Amino acid sequence: MRSFEKISFDQFKKDISANSELYEEYKLPERKTRASAGYDFFAIKEIILLPGEIKKIPTGVKARFPEDEFLMLVVRSSMGFKHNVRMCNQVGIIDSDFYNSPGNEGHMWVALQNQGDMIVKIRKGEAFCQGIFQKYYTCGEEVETKREGWSWDGATQKIKK
Nearest to 29 by CA among 129, 134, 135: 129
Output the tens digit of pLDDT for each of the chain's 161 residues.
899 999 999 999 999 999 999 999 999 999 999 999 999 999 999 999 999 999 999 999 999 999 999 999 999 988 888 999 999 999 999 999 999 999 899 999 999 999 999 999 999 999 999 999 999 998 877 766 555 555 555 445 455 55
For residue 46, the domain's CATH number is 2.70.40.10
Residue at 143 is within a domain? no
| Distance (Å) of CA 33 to CA 36, 65, 89, 100, 136 | 5, 21, 27, 29, 25
| Distance (Å) of CA 102 to CA 51, 117, 146, 161 | 35, 39, 13, 10
Residue at 142 is within a domain? no
State how far the Cα of 102 lies from the Cα of 30, in Å rounded to an integer. Answer: 26
In this prediction the pTM is 0.85
The vertex-89 CA angle with 143 and 108, nearest 5°, equals 70
Residue at 15 is within a domain? yes
Structural domains counted in the chain: 1
Nearest to 39 by CA among 106, 129, 134, 135: 129
Residue at 73 is within a domain? yes
Q: Which domain holds residue 114?
A: 3-137+148-160
Residue at 125 is within a domain? yes
Q: How many helices (H) and strands (E) does the chain have?
A: 3, 13
